[in-house]
Structure 1
Amino acid sequence: MSVIGIDLGTQSTKIGVARNKGIDIITNEVSNRATPTLVGFGPKSRYLGEAAKTQEISNLKNTVSGFKRLVGRSFKDPDVHIEQEYNTSTLCDANGQAGVEVSYLGKKEQFTATQLVAMYLSKIKSTAAREIKLPISDVVISVPAWFTDSQRRAMLDAAEIAGLRPLRLMNDTTAIALGYGITKLDLPTAEESPRRVVFVDMGHSNYTCSVVEFRKGELNVKATTYDRHFGGRNFDKALVDHFADEFKEKFKIDIRTNPKAWARTLAAAEKLKKVLSANPVAPLSIESLMNDVDVRTVIKREDMEEMVRPLLEQLSVPLEQVLAEAKLKVEDIDSIEMVGGCTRVPIIKETISKFFGKPLSFTLNQDEAIARGCTFSCAILSPIFRVRDFSVHEIVNYPVEFTWEQSPEIPDEDTSLTVFNKGNIMPSTKILTFYRKQPFDLEARYSKPEMLPGKVNPWIGRFSIKGVKADANDDFMICKLKARLNLHGILNVESGYYVEDVEVEEPISDEKEGEKKDADPMETDTPNGNAEPKKTRKVKKQVRKGELPVSSGTTSLEPVTKETWTEKENAMTMEDKLVADTDEKKNELESSIYELRDKVETTYSDFASDEEREKLTTKLSEIEDWLYEDGEDTTKAAYVAKMDEIRFIAGPIIQRYMDKIEADRQAILKAQEEAVAKKRAEEDSKRKPEEEGKKTEEGKDSTDAEMKEAPSAADGEATSAEKGEMDENE
């Protein structure tokens, strides 16, 4: 079982895995720690991740980026049309959702953003499985804090289509905060003032600020604000607009009329921006950009900063908002942690540091902090890992209300209620009580549509409560409904039940005010010797009597649609695998032709007769001609058959060569064994005389010792005798 965290970014994606008592970031097939968030479509297969990046310039109209920002939206949403400015493919209305129209397998196809995310997550899943050599299932996926219920449901649907089981959809900055806090051993205790940290995350297209309070073993998100359309891509576009004007004047070419030239300039501008983050001046050079014209220019850092000056004015707005919502001042903040690739730009660091009046902190990995936080969260939620206890208290970003039709029997009944307010802790459960005599419906929506991103529909879902009826006395049924905002930030009415008021007896305490509650209890006997009966009273209590079925209508995919899209994704995956295997067999055939043609004249020349050599050479030339004509685009089976034809002729020659190699190897081993045995025998023959001489010396030494000890013994005896005689004389 795996523990995986996925930072699904607009531009690139990072994958974290819990192993070796820590978090590792997985590398992809080309050993990069970040995989481009791109999906491309071709005449034979799809291109996902690195493959899509490789052919992006040559396949602009069929390569899709930024699909995460389209998920869960309608095509009419103005935010979708903003995304068209940064996308070379054609966005469209796909079954009422934002999607894309591309050429795939030689025909026009439309795919929704949910399908695009599912395609990409399938690639991420295979990358992770290849690296850790385990099946991938449980994951935690990052999402922007401003995602609504419909966007979060679409992400879950996409993950399920890709064969993943998301344990949590985690807000970007909350994931960063978890990765920061869980590794700190010096956090204040519950009795001390919390440590307040502002996390500033600026990536490719999104700018988010969060104020988080830390205590030992827990974090509390106090406020989160954002600018959904501010990030590195805005800086890139400002540079490209400048270069477009310069190239038009200086080189007489208009890159705005040529999508390929625009895309190449955009890629060069992004690299230039990174160079200017570390250097005051940077050159830009693109060969044959357009109409065979080479372009060269130089730009200074201060020139770029002047170009993006209007953008920099947006930096302080979310910072001011987040402090206001958290009810804090600048001096209340203990630390400002910077995360995201765009926070490396010097003018951005300078502006934010000036706002807070203190130096910034860069203790986290700016590119991988979100992936690490998601992986920690997955490890906490997974039963197979033991992780330090750490509670995460997220907040509600948009207030949620329920509305319903007024009951005919209750003319003054309110018909709406805000159940989850902005700033409430999440996940959270609320119990709603209704008095009804017949089934009824609830409708959930965001109570302040103006707070939502773009023009997202504020409607969340409709919940029908079944099985409601009047009781035997034609009185109301008391209905209880459990509404929950879960770990994903998704709202559901999870269950319903009804209760009845029942009279029960409960004991009455005789304690009077002022009596000691900790006095020892004493039993008082009545005159007849029996214990005094305890006083009771009758009270009404609500007792759960039965369940009320709840049917839901939400923006989640219908099971039939999800199943259809899953089958289609599996079919496309098999098609991709077949094309990849076919290309592999084609490359294997081509390399075998060149390798054998060389070896038959060199390595294998002594093991093939002239007839065999000529036959093999003829066959290789024949298959080579076929490969570059009829075999340029054929089936996997055709390449395998041609490979078998070559093996049929070359096999015996290669076998003779291998037999000779094996015989030589055995001869070398035998010679080595004989040499070792001979050396050992020589050592044994030398060692034997030495040992015999040593034994002789030892024998001689022992004889001398005996001879020396004998007189001593005699002397000793004589002395004793003399002593005896002396004693007698005395």
Structure 2
Amino acid sequence: MSTPFGLDFGNDNSVLAVARNRGIDIVVNEVSNRATPSVVGFGPKNRYLGESGKTKQTSNVKNTVTGLKRIVGLSYEDKDFEQESKYITSKLVKMDDGKVGAQVRLAGEQQTFSGAQLAAMYMDKVKDTVVSETKANISDVCVAVPTWYTEAQRYTIADAARIAGLNPVRIVNDITAAAVSYGVFKTDLPEGEEKPRIVALVDIGHSSYTCSIMAFKKGELKVLGTAFDKHFGGRDFDRAITEHFADEFKGKFKIDIRENPKAYNRVLTASEKLKKVLSANTAAPFNLESVMNDVDVHSQLTREELEELVKPLLERVTEPVTRALAQAGISAEEVDFVELIGGTTRIPTLKTSISEAFGKPLSTTLNQDEAIAKGAAFICAIHSPTLRVRPFKFEDIHPYSVSYSWDKQAEDEDTLEVFTKNSTFPSTKMITLHRTGDFAMEAFYTNKEELPVNVEQKIAKWEISGVELGEGEESVPVKLKLRCDPSGLHIIEEAYTLEDIVVKEEIPLPEDAPEDAVPEFKEVTKTVKKADLTITAHTFAMDSKTLNELTEKENELHAQDKLVFETEDRKNALEEYIYTLRGKLEEEYADFASDAEKTRLKEMLQKAEDWLYDEGYDSIKAKYIAKYEELASLGNLIKGRYQQKQEEKRQALRAKQEASQMADLAAKLAAQRKAEAESKDKKTDAEGDVELD
């Protein structure tokens, strides 16, 4: 049985959660952090994923890929590409399919990986983290992604999960996952005919800002409106601080950190920490040693100065709020609560602006960093066939209208708007077409002018085959089941032909009919399913051949990482054994080895140490094991004598303690018997005394 796994796929950090023990638990990583850096790094032998990638980022800046969430499914020609490339230090290139990939050096070779592969590498890492922490089987996952993800990006994330060996049961909007977390764990929500609670969720994370208006009742949630700003987040504050100091250091210390990627990254990292300090303090110092050219830098920044640096950004704070309220068709006064999530909402000036926009105080009853992951884990649990969860119904909304067309090559092309803007999903629509043969259908966003300029209007295409005309038929009715599934993906779930058949139906007898009345029948025509049709989908999903190839590639890289880790582990074990055994040979083991054995073992240890730091510095796992076993063949013999002597001492001490305990017990029993005898004698003497007159 798979334990439900929820992944809040963040731009800077990701949070992992599982549904178990009748609750939702956050999974800590290998260094006990509750959030794992969304980083994929590449080195001379292996990859550095998560925490290790973040640790090595400054020294490995060109081979470290960040911003995975932003480059997944991103087109190289997209206007957002120029914006994203400012934040990513690795080299971004154009892949064969026109999407963005990263060019890095791995194991001494230049290699290129797609956004899907990079996301899969990271998901494979966090899957191992969850398995290691929970000791459970992990296969099903619900991934929380930004509301602004296109259909192409949602398919890419699903493919990345499959490459990592996971089954993506649902791709959910992150703000909706947080709302599910709110709805499930709140105990005071209205019920039945009561007015629903209107809650505005405001999520400002590392790279984007989303505002969603939700209606809550006990056991259900409905999204009323959602708006976003794709380029408003904590990283914009970090970049503004870094650019400010870059200008200052150029004049003050005569260094230009923009010319040195490592120096720039160090200042950027320190700027992020400074930003967090300024959330709680009005001013903070800034000091860094040896930034570049052996120059130490120092400065300070006040909260007012920071707000001035990001003034153009702050002017856009209320835009998503205004648009979300307009889409929901309500006023700010009708909102009951405003909940904040996301780390960047801790910045005081943002909190003030949002509070003023709604005209009411803000709430932080949700865990700002973990609410999305917990909601995603709960949603994954809903899809589990073996778990019982608290009933909770939730619906998201279509941000754009979606239409379907057919007879694309014919002059009489037909189009039908199927899923209207702001309608809820998941949803299903049935339509009937009259066809003369096989045909194709396309799904597309109805109004191109409503779309962001980087979103392709076409969504998917399907070829429907197997349509056969009967004798004398000019056309045959075809029933199509069109669906927007829970992940917001548009599919044709079923297609089949219909036929009319004549059946006999019994005519109901009148109430006063005699008991022996003979029933009468009438012939009626019914439309029934005739035959299933074959649906060939052409979506943004990866074809099976490519998916299998990339899965094999990821498995190879995973195995290589594991081998490098195990090799390093055996190398460290050998090094530790050499120094430990050498020290003990002069102390604890000194009386348990002959002079010849000591001389021989010392020579072996010296040779092993020389080999380890010379030709064995970069050897293979098997050689480290062989060297260890060679030393252990004699070292363990001496160790065995020492342990035997220690065991003899322990046995002797135990025997002495037991003898002492037995002696004490015997003495105690003897004293007890003596006391009882004396007591008996006194009683006898008392009974023998006779008083005479």
Tell me the TM-score normalized by structure 1: 0.91
Gap change, CA 1:327 and 1:508, over 3 Å in 2 = farther
Corresponding residue for residue 618 of structure 1: 603
Corresponding residue for residue 465 of structure 2: 466
Is the Cα–Cα contact under 8 Å of residues 7 and 14 in structure 2 kept in the other structure?
yes
- Secondary structure of 2:616's counterpart equals helix
- Map Cα deviations across residues 498-533 of structure 1 (whole Å, 9 max, x no partner): 1123345557789xxxxxxxxxx94344xxx85486
Q: CA deviation at 1:453?
A: 4.7
Corresponding residue for residue 65 of structure 2: 64
Is the Cα–Cα contact under 8 Å of residues 4 and 15 in structure 1 kept in the other structure?
yes
Corresponding residue for residue 240 of structure 1: 242
Corresponding residue for residue 488 of structure 2: 489
2:134 equivalent to 1:149: no
Instruction: Report how many aligned residue pairs link the two structures.
Output: 688
Cα distance in 2 for partners of 1:315, 1:139 equals 33
Corresponding residue for residue 593 of structure 1: 578
2:361 equivalent to 1:359: yes
Q: CA deviation at 1:263?
A: 0.5
Q: CA deviation at 1:450?
A: 4.2
- Secondary structure of 2:30's counterpart equals coil
Is the Cα–Cα contact under 8 Å of residues 524 and 532 in structure 1 kept in the other structure?
no
2:5 equivalent to 1:20: no
Whichever residue aligns with residue 302 of structure 1, its letter is E
Corresponding residue for residue 80 of structure 1: 81
Corresponding residue for residue 193 of structure 1: 195
Q: Out of 591, 594, 597, which is 1:606 matched to?
A: 591
Cα distance in 2 for partners of 1:250, 1:352 equals 37
Q: CA deviation at 1:36?
A: 0.4
Cα distance in 1 for partners of 2:81, 2:549 equals 25
Is the Cα–Cα contact under 8 Å of residues 162 and 569 in structure 1 kept in the other structure?
yes
Gap change, CA 1:701 and 1:568, over 3 Å in 2 = farther
Cα distance in 2 for partners of 1:420, 1:700 equals 111
Corresponding residue for residue 400 of structure 2: 398
Q: CA deviation at 1:20?
A: 3.0
Q: CA deviation at 1:471?
A: 2.1
Corresponding residue for residue 422 of structure 2: 423
Q: CA deviation at 1:75?
A: 1.6
Gap change, CA 1:607 and 1:218, over 3 Å in 2 = same
Whichever residue aligns with residue 320 of structure 1, its letter is T
Corresponding residue for residue 715 of structure 1: none
Indicate the larger mover: 328-337 or 459-468.
Answer: 459-468
Q: CA deviation at 1:74?
A: 2.2
Gap change, CA 1:671 and 1:326, over 3 Å in 2 = same
Corresponding residue for residue 573 of structure 1: 558
Q: Out of 614, 619, 633, which is 1:648 matched to?
A: 633
Indicate the larger mover: 426-435 or 321-330.
Answer: 426-435
Q: What is the correspondence of 1:161-560 to structure 2 with a 5 Å cutoff?
A: 161-405=163-407, 415-453=414-452, 455-504=454-503, 522-525=511-514, 530-531=516-517, 539-560=524-545
Is the Cα–Cα contact under 8 Å of residues 124 and 165 in structure 2 kept in the other structure?
yes
Gap change, CA 1:532 and 1:596, over 3 Å in 2 = closer
- Map Cα deviations across residues 54-111 of structure 1 (whole Å, 9 max, x no partner): 1101111110011222112322212122211100001111222211110111111010
Gap change, CA 1:465 and 1:696, over 3 Å in 2 = farther
Cα distance in 2 for partners of 1:133, 1:457 equals 43
- Map Cα deviations across residues 184-235 of structure 1 (whole Å, 9 max, x no partner): 2221112011000000000000101111101111000111111111100001
Cα distance in 2 for partners of 1:692, 1:140 equals 81
Q: CA deviation at 1:698?
A: 8.5
Identity value in percent: 47
Gap change, CA 1:482 and 1:266, over 3 Å in 2 = same
Structure index of larger Rg: 1
Q: Out of 613, 632, 653, which is 1:628 matched to?
A: 613
Gap change, CA 1:700 and 1:330, over 3 Å in 2 = farther
Corresponding residue for residue 727 of structure 1: none
Q: CA deviation at 1:460?
A: 1.9
Is the Cα–Cα contact under 8 Å of residues 507 and 519 in structure 2 kept in the other structure?
no
Indicate the larger mover: 423-432 or 190-199.
Answer: 423-432
Cα distance in 1 for partners of 2:422, 2:672 equals 89
Q: CA deviation at 1:456?
A: 3.0
Cα distance in 2 for partners of 1:128, 1:533 equals 68
Is the Cα–Cα contact under 8 Å of residues 463 and 553 in structure 1 kept in the other structure?
yes
Cα distance in 2 for partners of 1:700, 1:446 equals 115
Cα distance in 2 for partners of 1:566, 1:375 equals 24
Is the Cα–Cα contact under 8 Å of residues 175 and 372 in structure 2 kept in the other structure?
yes
Is the Cα–Cα contact under 8 Å of residues 402 and 419 in structure 2 kept in the other structure?
yes
Cα distance in 2 for partners of 1:271, 1:486 equals 41
Gap change, CA 1:367 and 1:277, over 3 Å in 2 = same
Is the Cα–Cα contact under 8 Å of residues 148 and 452 in structure 1 kept in the other structure?
no
Cα distance in 2 for partners of 1:407, 1:286 equals 65
Cα distance in 2 for partners of 1:378, 1:83 equals 31
Cα distance in 2 for partners of 1:47, 1:406 equals 49
Is the Cα–Cα contact under 8 Å of residues 499 and 546 in structure 1 kept in the other structure?
yes
Cα distance in 2 for partners of 1:445, 1:661 equals 80
Indicate the larger mover: 537-546 or 238-247.
Answer: 537-546
- Secondary structure of 1:181's counterpart equals helix
For structure 2, list consecutive stretches of 5 or more residues without a partner in the other structure.
none
Cα distance in 2 for partners of 1:299, 1:159 equals 42
Q: CA deviation at 1:451?
A: 4.1
Q: CA deviation at 1:606?
A: 1.4
Whichever residue aligns with residue 440 of structure 1, its letter is F
Cα distance in 2 for partners of 1:368, 1:631 equals 45
Q: CA deviation at 1:255?
A: 1.0
Is the Cα–Cα contact under 8 Å of residues 240 and 309 in structure 2 kept in the other structure?
yes
Corresponding residue for residue 95 of structure 1: 96
Cα distance in 1 for partners of 2:218, 2:680 equals 76
Whichever residue aligns with residue 569 of structure 1, its letter is E
Corresponding residue for residue 36 of structure 1: 37
Whichever residue aligns with residue 293 of structure 2, its letter is N
Cα distance in 2 for partners of 1:188, 1:699 equals 86
- Secondary structure of 1:182's counterpart equals helix
Gap change, CA 1:330 and 1:35, over 3 Å in 2 = same
Is the Cα–Cα contact under 8 Å of residues 146 and 453 in structure 1 kept in the other structure?
no
Is the Cα–Cα contact under 8 Å of residues 36 and 53 in structure 1 kept in the other structure?
yes
Q: CA deviation at 1:398?
A: 2.5
Whichever residue aligns with residue 447 of structure 1, its letter is T
Q: CA deviation at 1:50?
A: 0.6
Whichever residue aligns with residue 543 of structure 1, its letter is V
2:56 equivalent to 1:55: yes
Cα distance in 2 for partners of 1:225, 1:256 equals 35
Whichever residue aligns with residue 457 of structure 1, its letter is E
Whichever residue aligns with residue 523 of structure 1, its letter is D
Q: CA deviation at 1:134?
A: 1.6
Tell me the TM-score normalized by structure 2: 0.95
Whichever residue aligns with residue 545 of structure 2, its letter is V
Cα distance in 2 for partners of 1:453, 1:616 equals 73
- Secondary structure of 2:60's counterpart equals helix
- Map Cα deviations across residues 596-623 of structure 1 (whole Å, 9 max, x no partner): 2211111211112222222222221222
Gap change, CA 1:483 and 1:683, over 3 Å in 2 = same
Gap change, CA 1:474 and 1:20, over 3 Å in 2 = closer
- Secondary structure of 1:170's counterpart equals strand
Cα distance in 2 for partners of 1:600, 1:136 equals 47
Is the Cα–Cα contact under 8 Å of residues 3 and 20 in structure 2 kept in the other structure?
no
Q: CA deviation at 1:427?
A: 0.8
Q: CA deviation at 1:393?
A: 1.1
Q: CA deviation at 1:383?
A: 2.8
